[in-house]
Amino acid sequence: MATHDVKEPSFISILGRAFSIMDQLLMSDKPLGVSELSRKTNIPKANTFRILKTLEKLSAITPEGDGYVLGSKMMELGAGAKRDNQFVSLAIPFLQKLSKTCGETVNLGVPFHNNVLFIHTVLAEQRSLVASLPPITPLYCCSIGKIFLAYLTNAEFQQYFSVTRFEKRTIHTKVEREQFIQECGTILREGISHDHEEYDYGLSCIAAPIFLDKQLVAGISLSGPTSRLQFKGYAFLENELKTTAKAISDEVTHKKAVLPDIR
């Protein structure tokens, strides 16, 4: 009886599938199981299972509940990539100074697949009262994300609203296009963006844009408990944030820094 060779996926193909799986875990705010990852990546379930087990042995992912999340090895690699990137290295001293001056957590974020990817965070010294965001957050419900929305072209803006599935995370979360049109106009005029408990109750954020050669490339934000930000005064926090954002923009433009390749 004739035998038929079963063509195994090439090493490059397997590696590509592994990265597809890790991309989905990176973009998810909850653990993902075998079936869901198979559906999202179009990788057969049996192959998905084998890849997950291999990634787990390498500490690239770790089990959590009924699914998986990115593991310690990926966090180590991510931290190394950020440390060695000139853009992030130049920004860090400014972020640290801002966090110390305001006493709040400071985030540096870049656009990533219609989300914000936080590539560096300086935690506030008041650890017991720190409010934080996950590594990836939707554009529509965080202050840095709204900065990116404000600078989209009309066509990009329409495309975003046609493909995005909005979730009313709190009673303050905006989900209507008309609300964003009005808010984006304010952001462009004032150079500052706010998230008033739109991602989570009790958490508020303020953000400002960072430019490289006059092109928007990133944003920085202050995040903390709403009551504490109100006590410190939004005018003070906004001024410190905008001053820092301009200083970083000038520095990275002068040094011709390049952002981390996260795409």
Q: Are 182 and 129 in contact (CB under 8 A)?
A: no
User: Residue 145 falls within a domain, yes or no?
Assistant: yes
Given CA atoms 169, 172, 176, 180 in this order, what sign does their dihedral have?
A: negative
User: Residue 3 falls within a domain, yes or no?
Assistant: no
User: In this predicted structure, what is the pLDDT of residue 3?
Assistant: 43
Question: Are both 159 and 187 inside the same structural domain?
Answer: yes
Question: Are both 23 and 144 inside the same structural domain?
Answer: no
The total domain count for the chain is 2
Question: Are both 16 and 114 inside the same structural domain?
Answer: no
Question: Are both 90 and 66 inside the same structural domain?
Answer: no
User: Residue 124 falls within a domain, yes or no?
Assistant: yes
User: Residue 78 falls within a domain, yes or no?
Assistant: no
Question: Are both 194 and 91 inside the same structural domain?
Answer: yes
- Which domain range does residue 151 map to? 85-254
CATH of the domain at 18: 1.10.10.10
Question: Are both 172 and 194 inside the same structural domain?
Answer: yes
Distance separating alpha carbons of residues 228 and 203, to the nearest angstrom: 10
- pLDDT tens track of the chain, all 263 residues? 444 444 555 666 888 888 888 888 877 768 899 999 999 999 999 999 999 998 888 888 888 888 888 776 665 555 555 555 788 889 999 999 999 999 999 999 998 878 888 888 898 876 544 555 667 788 999 999 999 999 999 999 999 998 888 999 999 999 999 999 999 999 999 999 999 999 999 999 999 999 999 999 999 999 999 999 999 999 999 999 999 999 999 999 998 887 765 55
User: Residue 5 falls within a domain, yes or no?
Assistant: no
User: In this predicted structure, what is the pLDDT of residue 129?
Assistant: 47
User: In this predicted structure, what is the pLDDT of residue 133?
Assistant: 64
Question: Are both 25 and 60 inside the same structural domain?
Answer: yes
User: Residue 234 falls within a domain, yes or no?
Assistant: yes
User: In this predicted structure, what is the pLDDT of residue 2?
Assistant: 43
Last residue of a domain, one of 49, 71, 93: 71
| Residue 246 burial class via C-beta count within 10 angstroms: exposed 0-12, middle 13-18, buried 19 and up | middle
Question: Are both 181 and 250 inside the same structural domain?
Answer: yes
User: Residue 66 falls within a domain, yes or no?
Assistant: yes
User: 99 is written with which tokens?
Assistant: 């966090």
Question: Are both 180 and 241 inside the same structural domain?
Answer: yes
Question: Are both 56 and 89 inside the same structural domain?
Answer: no
Question: Are both 45 and 91 inside the same structural domain?
Answer: no
Question: Are both 233 and 130 inside the same structural domain?
Answer: yes
CATH of the domain at 216: 3.30.450.40
